[in-house]
């Protein structure tokens, strides 16, 4: 018996086999969940489909989260295949690479709009589409954040502001959806080598700093983030909502 036997879920944000979303997908699958995957473009479809096939998952849907019609079509496909939905994993973030260089004060209006739309508003839009499928199922929505939402991280810039908006959205959505029995939480993961992290200059320095200063004196793994996601999606966490769960080796508790 798995912790998630009988549950259905959708994973948004798988980029490749090293992405956090993929680590979570594998863990949810091991615990018995039936999964659907989405991709944003043909380039990502070529990466996502073989991974989905490895889990014997046939439901792989195109979804540009900046387009409401795409979101509606995706969740209609999930309804047709699953009948309902228990889990949403939102692992989506984007900012133009140029916006992650220099000073935050130089952030362009368009760069700010794109980062907030993809990285924060998409959670709101996807949750709105998921709610009708989660009625009566004690659904769980989990998104991925980072410590740059709370404190200034050099070269994180507008993405830190977007993650702050994301974490605030988690709290407001949790308050909205609690009466429906739907929980909304975030995992604030420590730095991990992923495709998204490659867009941050001097990312290796971030990894080294976390390893040297976190109480556990090491970096975290995909499996550790995935384990936290399984917990939040399971019936072991039915009273946990509006939370930002740090999986960072304790780095966030440290001062100077």
Q: The tokens 């939402």 sit on which residue?
A: 149
CA atoms within 13 A on the CB side of 12: 29
Separation of alpha carbons 248 and 146, rounded Å: 9
Helix 109-116 to helix 157-177 angle (10° resolution) is 40
pLDDT band of residue 83 (cuts 50, 70, 90) is very high
| Cα–Cα dist 239/140, whole Å | 11
pLDDT of residue 236: 97
Contacts of 142 (CB under 8 A, 6+ apart): 24, 87, 88, 89, 90, 184, 185, 186, 187, 229, 232, 233
Provide mean pLDDT across the span 148-177. 96
Q: What is the pLDDT of residue 196?
A: 63
pLDDT given at position 170 = 99
Catalytic residue among 104, 121, 147, 156: 156
| Range 139-160 average pLDDT | 96
Per-residue pLDDT reduced to its tens digit, 193-217 = 765 655 555 767 877 888 899 999 9
pLDDT of residue 201: 59
Task: Mark whether 104 is an active-site residue.
Answer: no
Q: CB 114: neighbour CB atoms within 10 A? A: 18
Non-local (6+) Cβ contacts of 242 within 8 A are 170, 171, 174, 175, 184, 185
Q: Tell me the C-alpha distance between 7 and 4, whole Å.
A: 5
Residue 192's pLDDT is 85
If residue 134 lies in a helix (H) or strand (E), which one and from where to where? helix 122-134
> CATH assignment of 8-247?
3.40.50.720
pTM score: 0.95
Question: Of 255, 24, 56, which Cα lies nearest the Cα of 144?
Answer: 24
Closest CA to 24 of 228, 220, 199: 228
Give residue 209's pLDDT: 83
Q: Is the pLDDT of residue 222 over 90?
A: yes
pLDDT category at 255 given cuts 50, 70, 90 is confident
List residues bridging with 37 in a β-sheet: 11, 60
Q: Where are the domains of the chain?
A: 8-247
pLDDT digit string, tens, across residues 54-72 = 999 999 999 999 999 999 9
In whole angstroms, what is the distance from residue 66 CA to residue 122 CA?
7
Alpha carbon distance 158, 165 (integer Å) = 11
Q: Annotated catalytic, 146?
A: yes
Q: What is the pLDDT of residue 93?
A: 96
The better pLDDT of the pair 237, 209 is held by 237
Query: How high does pLDDT run on average in the chain?
Result: 94
Which one-letter DSSP state was computed for residue 103?
-
CA atoms within 13 A on the CB side of 217: 0
Query: How is residue 124 written in tokens?
Result: 């709101």
Q: Which of 39, 146, 147, 251 is catalytic?
A: 146
């Amino acid at each position: 018996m798995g912790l998630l036997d009988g549950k259905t879920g959708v994973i948004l944000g798988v980029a490749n086999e090293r992405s956090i979303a993929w680590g979570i997908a594998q863990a949810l699958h091991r615990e018995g969940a039936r999964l659907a995957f989405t991709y944003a473009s043909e380039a990502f479809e070529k990466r996502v489909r073989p991974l989905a096939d490895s889990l014997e998952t046939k439901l792989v849907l195109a979804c540009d989260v900046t387009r409401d019609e795409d979101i509606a079509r995706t969740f209609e496909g999930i309804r047709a295949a699953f009948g309902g939905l228990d889990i949403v994993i939102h692992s989506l973030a984007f900012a133009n690479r140029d916006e992650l260089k220099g000073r935050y004060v130089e952030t362009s209006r368009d760069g700010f709009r794109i980062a907030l739309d993809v990285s924060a508003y998409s959670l709101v839009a996807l949750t709105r589409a998921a709610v009708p499928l989660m009625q009566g199922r004690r659904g769980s929505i989990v998104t991925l954040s980072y410590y740059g939402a709370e404190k200034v991280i050099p070269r994180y810039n507008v993405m830190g502001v977007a993650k702050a908006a994301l974490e605030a959205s988690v709290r407001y959505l949790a308050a909205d959806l609690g009466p429906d029995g739907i929980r909304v939480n975030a995992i604030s993961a420590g730095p991990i080598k992923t495709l998204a992290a490659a867009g941050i200059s001097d990312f290796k320095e971030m990894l080294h700093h976390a390893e040297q200063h976190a109480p556990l004196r090491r970096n975290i793994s995909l499996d550790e983030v995935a384990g936290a996601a399984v917990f939040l999606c399971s019936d072991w966490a039915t009273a946990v909502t509006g939370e930002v769960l740090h999986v960072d080796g304790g780095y966030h508790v440290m001062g100077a």
